[in-house]
């Protein structure tokens, strides 16, 4: 079944947004959303107006309402106004939320518990006492809704996890809770979220209001800040998540250190495991910043590419304190078949770079050998079979020679990513005053391939550079 991208918590100038409802709907339609719920505070949206908006902007518009009391509850499929919100303003937040949920159900709508950390009003213990509501806004992009831990309260993902452990069936959704769309506010550091920062995908057979609501109630939904789900579900004993990369040519950086970084809201005693492949000096800087906040840190880059990631047999190279490593080993073993502590913080990335150097140089040597064999009139498959059992045999040879022979360059590990790793290796070598002549030569091959539009091919396509140098058709 297809996945449909939508916004389930959105405001207009009818309540406290900054543009009218037509403008909001047009904004989301222009950005590829397929459905949107209008959820102004205590104001429903008439069915005929929702139909007019849908036809005018070619996007499915759901009527909705955000009931504002001692806790907020979003109601989807709501056409009526909530005319007496004061009834919800009770000291007992559980009663306030339950009255909102019951009112939404009475109208035939679907309730969603919204931003519990806005004002830090309730946690998992309250959620566990509620009836007839199984949707929870696990991510709200509005900064003042404190999705991440703030004010002594746990983050909403922690609240969700605790509620699940209390036996509550609760499906997570995400929203941008957008109020601001005007350019001067959209680019400002405003306390209220802007449009497009988080969405919810639902999986259903057709794009209709009943199908959307039914999918949400059944938990066929995922929250996303950019990725498009392809496959989500249980396969045997594994939970499988497969996504499309919406920006394949973009590079992303997570702000970890600094006033707006992830580390800013971290509480003492947390453990950060950084599995990115980066310059070891950067890993050491991150580790020092964590230590200053009494946060534990491991750098744990991986090797094995997409096939090993899919089947959970990655090789994981870890740098950090042994006590922390021993405690986190079960977590890492769920992702990899080999988990090795290689030294202090930064050592994981040094080991990963060493791995990437050996792989790249191995592929380059293999490519030269296969091109020579072909030029001399030999069958490359016969040559591969003859040498793979000898000293030249390797995991790299067994994985990449068949791809070269079959001209299959579907990426398991992309050339542009391998070039990045070799660049980091050369930077680390410069700091250590170590010459890497072979690695440097292979990096130049990768740069040449990228300049010729092959950066997203598998790194086995190094052979195409060798073939071009030999004047052979590729």
433 and 467 Cβ atoms separated by less than 8 Å: no
Q: What is the largest CA-CA distance in the chain?
A: 87
Angle (CA) 161-163-167 rounded to 5° is: 110
Phi-psi region of 424 (alpha: psi -120 to 50; beta: other; left: phi over 0): alpha
Indicate which residues carry an active-site annotation: 352
Do β-strands 199-203 and 171-175 pair in parallel, antiparallel, or remain unpaired?
A: unpaired
Q: Tokens representing 453?
A: 């539009």
At residue 6, the pLDDT reads 95
CATH class of 351-469: mainly alpha
Residues paired with 317 in a beta bridge? 340
Q: How far apart are CA 150 and CA 41, in angstroms?
A: 25
Question: Topology of domain 268-345, per CATH?
Answer: Rossmann fold (3.40.50)
If we measure between CA atoms, which residue out of 9, 11, 29 comes closest to residue 19? Answer: 11
60-68: strand order across its sheet: 171-175, 135-140, 110-113, 72-76, 60-68, 35-38, 3-10, 199-203, 221-224
- Give the count of alpha carbons within 13 A of 47, CB side only: 3
Q: How far is CA 57 from the centre of its chain?
A: 29
Q: Tokens representing 157?
A: 């993902």
If we measure between CA atoms, which residue out of 245, 231, 240, 286 comes closest to residue 263? Answer: 286
Q: Tokens representing 363?
A: 């592929």
Look up the pTM and report it: 0.60
Place of tokens 């079960």: 330
**For 141-253, where are the E strands, in sequence order?**
171-175, 199-203, 221-224, 228-235, 238-244
Q: How far apart are CA 180 and CA 10, in angstroms?
A: 10
Task: Per-residue pLDDT tens, the chain, 474 aa: give them.
Answer: 889 999 999 999 999 888 999 999 999 999 999 999 999 999 999 999 999 999 999 999 999 999 987 789 999 999 999 865 455 455 688 988 999 999 999 999 999 999 998 877 889 999 999 999 999 999 988 877 888 765 566 888 889 989 999 999 999 999 999 888 876 555 444 445 678 888 999 999 999 999 999 999 999 999 988 778 888 877 776 677 777 765 555 555 556 666 666 677 778 888 999 998 888 988 998 999 999 989 999 999 998 877 888 888 999 999 999 999 999 999 999 999 999 999 999 999 999 999 999 999 999 999 999 999 999 999 999 999 999 999 999 999 999 999 999 999 999 889 998 999 999 899 889 888 999 999 999 999 999 999 888 998 999 999 999 999 999 975
At residue 383, the pLDDT reads 97
At residue 376, the pLDDT reads 96
At residue 190, the pLDDT reads 44
**For 182-335, where are the E strands, in sequence order?**
199-203, 221-224, 228-235, 238-244, 271-274, 296-299, 302-303, 314-319
Q: How far apart are CA 288 and CA 168, in angstroms?
A: 39
Q: How many CB atoms lie within 10 A of CB 267?
A: 12
- Residue by residue, DSSP assigns 102-124 as HHHHHTT-EEEE--TTTTT---H
Q: Tokens representing 143?
A: 């900064």
Sorted by where each begins, the domain ranges of the chain are 3-244, 268-345, 351-469
At residue 267, the pLDDT reads 81
Q: How far apart are CA 68 and CA 46, in angstroms?
A: 19
Q: What is the CA radius of gyration of the chain?
A: 27
For 3-244, CATH number? 3.20.20.140
Decide: helix, strand or coil at residue 172.
strand
Q: How far is CA 395 from the centre of its chain?
A: 30
Number of residues that this document lists for the chain = 474
18 and 185 Cβ atoms separated by less than 8 Å: yes
At residue 157, the pLDDT reads 87
Angle (CA) 258-259-261 rounded to 5° is: 60
Q: How far apart are CA 97 and CA 92, in angstroms?
A: 9
Q: Tokens representing 338?
A: 């080999």
């Amino acid at each position: 079944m297809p996945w449909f991208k939508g916004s389930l918590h959105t405001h207009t100038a009818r309540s406290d947004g900054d543009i009218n409802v037509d403008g909001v709907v047009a904004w989301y339609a222009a950005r590829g959303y397929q459905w949107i719920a209008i959820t102004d505070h205590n104001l429903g949206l008439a069915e005929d107006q929702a139909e007019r908006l849908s036809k005018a902007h070619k996007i499915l518009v759901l009527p909705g309402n955000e009931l504002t009391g001692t806790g907020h509850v979003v109601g989807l499929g709501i056409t009526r106004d909530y005319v007496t919100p004061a009834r919800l303003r009770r000291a007992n937040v559980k009663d306030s939320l339950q009255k909102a949920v019951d009112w939404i159900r009475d109208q035939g709508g679907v309730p969603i518990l919204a931003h519990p950390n806005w004002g830090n009003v309730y946690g998992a213990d309250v959620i566990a006492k509620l009836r007839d509501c199984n949707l929870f806004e696990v991510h709200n992009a509005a900064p003042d809704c404190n999705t991440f831990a703030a004010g002594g309260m746990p983050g909403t993902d922690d609240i969700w996890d605790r509620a699940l452990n209390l036996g509550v069936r609760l499906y997570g959704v995400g929203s941008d809770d957008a109020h601001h769309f005007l350019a001067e506010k959209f680019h400002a550091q405003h306390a209220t979220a802007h449009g497009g920062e988080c969405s919810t995908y639902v999986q259903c057979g057709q794009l209709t209001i009943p199908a959307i609501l039914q999918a949400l109630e059944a938990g066929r939904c995922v929250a996303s800040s950019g990725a498009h789900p392809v496959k989500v579900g249980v396969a045997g004993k594994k939970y499988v998540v497969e996504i499309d990369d919406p920006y394949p040519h973009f590079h992303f950086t997570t702000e970890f250190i600094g006033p707006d970084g992830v580390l800013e809201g971290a509480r003492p005693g947390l453990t950060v495991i950084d599995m990115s492949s980066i310059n070891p000096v950067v890993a050491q800087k991150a580790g020092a910043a964590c230590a200053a906040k009494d946060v534990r840190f491991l750098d744990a880059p991986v090797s094995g590419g997409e096939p090993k990631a899919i089947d959970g047999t990655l090789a994981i190279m870890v740098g950090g304190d042994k006590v922390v490593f021993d405690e986190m080993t079960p977590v890492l073993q769920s992702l990899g078949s080999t988990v090795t502590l290689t030294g202090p913080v930064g050592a994981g990335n040094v080991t990963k770079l060493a791995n990437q150097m050996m792989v790249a140089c191995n592929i380059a040597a293999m490519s030269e050998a296969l091109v020579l064999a072909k030029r001399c009139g030999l069958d490359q498959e016969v040559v591969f079979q003859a040498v793979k059992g000898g000293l030249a045999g390797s995991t790299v040879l067994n994985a990449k020679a068949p791809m070269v022979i079959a001209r299959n360059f579907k990426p398991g590990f992309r050339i542009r990513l391998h070039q990045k790793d070799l660049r980091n290796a050369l930077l680390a070598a410069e700091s250590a005053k170590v010459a890497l002549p072979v690695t440097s030569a292979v990096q130049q091959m990768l740069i040449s391939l990228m300049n010729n539009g092959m950066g997203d091919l598998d790194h086995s396509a190094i052979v195409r550079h060798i073939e071009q140098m030999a004047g052979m058709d590729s």
